[in-house]
Amino acid sequence: MNCKYCCVTCGAEADELSHHYKEGVIKIIHCKECQNPVDPYIELDDLLVFIDFVLLKLRAHRHVLFNIDKIKYNHIIKLSCALILANAYIKWFHLKNDQYQSIINQDHHIFYALEYGFYSNLFESFLEYTIRFGLIFLIAFAQWRQNWTRDRSMLLFRALILSSIGQLFILPLLIWSPDHRDYYGLLMSFIFTILCHTQALNASRLFSSLMSFLSSTIAILLSKYLLSIVSQNSFL
- pLDDT confidence bin for 180, thresholds 50/70/90: low
* Nearest by Cα to 84 from 134, 119, 135, 136: 119
140, part of any domain: yes
Question: How many CB atoms are closer than 10 A to CB 223?
Answer: 20
CA dihedral 47, 159, 19, 10 (to 10 degrees): -100
61 and 115 belong to one structural domain: no
125 and 99 belong to one structural domain: yes
- Length of the chain equals 236
108 and 149 belong to one structural domain: yes
Domain boundary among 66, 96, 115: 66
- Residues with Cβ within 8 Å of 124's Cβ and at least 6 positions away in sequence, in order, are 88, 91, 227, 230, 231, 236
87 and 195 belong to one structural domain: yes
pLDDT value, residue 105 = 52
pLDDT value, residue 27 = 84
pLDDT value, residue 3 = 54
In angstroms, the CA 132 to CA 200 distance is 15
Say which range, 47-56, 155-164, 181-190, has the weakest mean pLDDT: 181-190
13-41 residue pLDDT tens: 888 888 877 766 778 888 888 989 999 99
52, part of any domain: yes
pLDDT value, residue 169 = 78
109 and 128 belong to one structural domain: yes
96 and 41 belong to one structural domain: no
189, part of any domain: yes
In angstroms, the CA 113 to CA 129 distance is 24
Domain boundary among 41, 66, 91: 66
236, part of any domain: no
- What is the pLDDT of the chain when averaged over all its residues? 82
Percent of the chain with pLDDT over 70: 83
pLDDT at 235 over 50: no
Region label for 24, one of left (φ > 0), alpha (ψ between -120 and 50) or beta (otherwise): left
Q: When comparing pLDDT for 67 and 1, which is higher?
A: 67
155, part of any domain: yes
pLDDT value, residue 166 = 80
pLDDT value, residue 101 = 52
84-122 residue pLDDT tens: 988 888 888 777 665 555 555 555 455 555 567 778 888
Residue type, 135: L
Mean pLDDT over 73-92 rounds to: 86
pLDDT at 177 over 70: no
In angstroms, the CA 120 to CA 17 distance is 46
pLDDT value, residue 49 = 92
User: Containing domain of residue 77, as a range?
Assistant: 73-231
CB-CB contact of 67 with 17 (8 Å): yes
Angle of helix 209-231 relative to helix 183-203, nearest 10 degrees, comes to 140
185 and 216 belong to one structural domain: yes
Number of domains making up the chain: 2
31 and 128 belong to one structural domain: no
**DSSP output for 198-224:** HHHHHHTTSS-HHHHHHHHHHHHHHHH
36, part of any domain: yes
35 and 89 belong to one structural domain: no
pLDDT value, residue 103 = 52
pLDDT at 57 over 90: yes
12 to each of 106, 131, 142, 149, 203, how far by Cα in Å? Answer: 63, 32, 24, 19, 11
9 and 116 belong to one structural domain: no
In angstroms, the CA 155 to CA 66 distance is 9
58 and 83 belong to one structural domain: no
Mean pLDDT over 47-52 rounds to: 92
Backbone Cα Rg of the chain:
21
48 and 105 belong to one structural domain: no
pLDDT at 234 over 50: no
161, part of any domain: yes
Domain boundary among 23, 47, 66: 66
